[in-house]
Structure 1
């Protein structure tokens, strides 16, 4: 991968906890940092969190946490990334501070990118009604029941909301995050 400064001065929040799908956090983080952005891993606890290595069906690597959710402010970031994995978003969507942060981010019009099971947190924040989205196939009914228009596509964008289905979609997902950040803030999605 090459490096550029397209996103120099931009800050990205990546919210995750133990059980995040390894590549759905590490690959976007590496890609965005390669484009010049600063990416912070925000979690429920300080120290580190442990990934889930889906292809090996076992625990993956630890990733350092930059901030806990109590320290994070939407105003400090240009974009939000929500990695998937089954465990990670299921834990996050029951944490009021995470749900409030995600809801505020969605209402801000800033870029929000969710992959795989990541949209569960968006559903909990009640922010998907009327949005075009995709996800891991098992979330199709959850998203439809929450009012989203689900489609089976590599990447779907709706006014700065970016969604993808699975790790195979990461190249398109990562590129689209950069494009949307460069496009700038969108009108409120409320």
Structure 2
């Protein structure tokens, strides 16, 4: 019984650690979740099995009555020729004016979602990091970004130690959404 409790506590401590931003990476402040809500298109990402082969990826964020954020991720699985959808829940990890949340698509297991760059004037683009430098997304309200913004985000991500040369640039060809 004691071993089971220690194993559970260890697993929970790992889960808690996985929500922090990478060392030296800081979430934006003056963050307004109400302005961040709505649909975002994935412009680029570092590769992970849960998104491998996906095109036309987008995320929709909606505030829930309990203060959590409903997350709906959608994308087109090019191998299966079918749309996929995952629904999750995000919670702030601290102050609500700091762009640092934890998101879960699998029950009690959360991962970090840290907005590390943001168009604070219009909320048209963002740079999002996960719990380590293996997770990075460039998001925008449109399916493309102006070249100067794209370069600015690449330069910032590279300076923070992200492998920008390994980014996958997401194709957005399909107009039909599920």
Q: Please report the TM-score for the alignment, with normalisation by the length of structure 2.
A: 0.32
What is the TM-score with the length of structure 1 in the denominator?
0.31
Higher helix content, 1 or 2: 1
The structure richer in strand per residue is 2
| Structure with more relative contact order (C-alpha pairs < 8 Å, separation 6 or more) | 2
